[in-house]
């Protein structure tokens, strides 16, 4: 069993949460263009790709809270699922070591 995929997914989710938090923090900043985060696969691991969202030319912040909050929930649930998997692997290895001892 290899937990590196779980770790890469947690790291990618952290990047997504950081970008979303920055976008929400700048919701009242004039001419702010938020970052957009897309999850992708690279070499059998999960990677977060960040880019600036498309500029609409608005004088106000272009942060869309109706997008940011669901993104934060998805990232939080992804981290939770990966942590549960790591815990299960840890318990299995612990049981395996107890049997061999």
pLDDT given at position 92: 82
Identify the domain containing residue 51 by its residue range.
4-100
Q: Is pLDDT above 60 for 1?
A: no
Number of domains, the chain: 1
Q: What is the pLDDT of residue 33?
A: 95
Long-range contacts of 86-95 (CB under 8 A, 24+ apart): 86/3, 86/6, 86/7, 89/1, 89/3, 92/1, 93/1
Q: pLDDT digits over 16-51, tens only?
A: 999 999 999 999 999 999 999 999 988 888 899 999
Write out pLDDT tens, residues 71-101: 999 999 999 999 999 888 888 877 666 665 5
Q: What is the pLDDT of residue 53?
A: 86
């Amino acid at each position: 069993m290899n937990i590196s995929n779980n770790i890469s997914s947690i790291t990618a989710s952290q990047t997504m949460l950081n970008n979303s938090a920055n976008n929400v923090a700048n919701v009242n900043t004039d001419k702010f263009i938020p970052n957009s985060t897309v999850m992708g696969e690279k070499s059998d691991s999960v990677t977060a790709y960040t880019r600036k969202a498309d500029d609409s030319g608005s004088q106000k912040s272009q942060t869309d809270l109706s997008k940011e909050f669901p993104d934060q929930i998805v990232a939080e649930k992804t981290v939770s699922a990966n942590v549960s998997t790591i815990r299960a692997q840890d318990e299995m290895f612990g049981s395996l070591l107890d049997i061999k001892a």
